[in-house]
Structure 1
Amino acid sequence: MIDNMKPSLVFLKETHCQFLKARYFWLSLSYNVVNIEEVVGHNDDLWVLASNDIDFSISVISSCHQVITHCLSKNNAQWFCSAIYATHVPSTRDLLWSHLENMRSSIGVL
């Protein structure tokens, strides 16, 4: 699918392996790491990878074990994107919602 579609960004969750074990695979497809959030046990992992030939800039605004928020920029336009892996634990998921609400407030300032 990666070879056929050639996405600029790839968001992976629940990878069940360490990125170091898959690193060469992604490098061979010409993708670089934007951000990796690995959790012990590799059940709540979030990987964000970008193609080597993207025509925009991407920067990490915020990162924690349930969400990675990015700013994508091209020319004078900006777009914010969050890769989310919400936990099944309600009390921890509440922390995610609080984090997203705070991000919404802070992004309005950027």
Structure 2
Amino acid sequence: MKTTMTMAALAAIAAAAPAAAQDAQVGEKAFVQCKACHSVVAGQNRVGPSLAGVVGRKIGTYDKFAYSAAMKTKGGVWTEANLDSYLTKPQAYVKGTKMAFAGIPDAKKRKDVIAYLKTLK
């Protein structure tokens, strides 16, 4: 018996498939590139602010860090979606940010890094 699936049926199957799970352990390994500028220890800033407790924090508000004017006025909270957009291409998300990092083009790697960031308190 020959079965032919329509594009709509294939799209429905793809939509129902679970998204790739976040993996904090993989994210911690990918975070190595971030450690040159960011600490994960609360209160310990480097070239960039500490990322301890970053998920859920107001954007551009970490104590004793000199943010760019663009970051200070961005507004909002570092949600997973906002972090994903920022980590894709920081200069596009916050025009005028001081962060010189080009971004993480791989969506799975960004999700893993965000999973790791969620573990930091």
Q: Give the TM-score, by structure 1 length.
A: 0.23
Larger Rg: 2
Of structures 1 and 2, the one scoring higher in RCO (CA 8 A, sep 6+) is 2
Q: Larger % of strand: which?
A: 1
Q: Whose helix proportion is higher, 1 or 2?
A: 2
